Amino acid sequence: MAKNSSTQGIRALIEWFVCLLLFLASVAAFAGVYRVHFDMSGSTFGSTNSSLSLMAFAIAVSLWGKQMASLLRE
């Protein structure tokens, strides 16, 4: 069965929108990493907040990278 062109267009639009949201989440996670590690009191490493912010950044960037790879593969 042939795919409908309007369905393909909507799917592409949704995929690019998800990609944009993941990019914004990555930027926000990077801002969180910067804010936690380089607070006004100086550099802070080894706390729970810094570890969680690094994990959030890594997850956001990896999901954004996978989404970009799937978009560029098509």
Spell out the residues 6+ positions from residue 16 whose beta carbon is closer than 8 angstroms to its own.
71
User: CB-based contacts of 44: which residues, under 8 Å, 6+ apart?
Assistant: 36, 37, 38, 50
Q: Which residue has the tokens 């950044």?
A: 57
36's CB contacts (< 8 A; 6+ apart) are: 44, 47, 49, 50, 53
Q: What is the pLDDT of residues 19-70, one digit of tens each?
A: 999 999 999 999 999 888 887 677 777 788 888 989 999 999 999 999 999 9
Residue that has been written with the tokens 């042939």 in this structure: 2
Other C-beta atoms closer than 10 Å to the C-beta of 28 total: 13
- With a cut of 90, say whether residue 2 has pLDDT above it: no
pLDDT of residue 40: 64
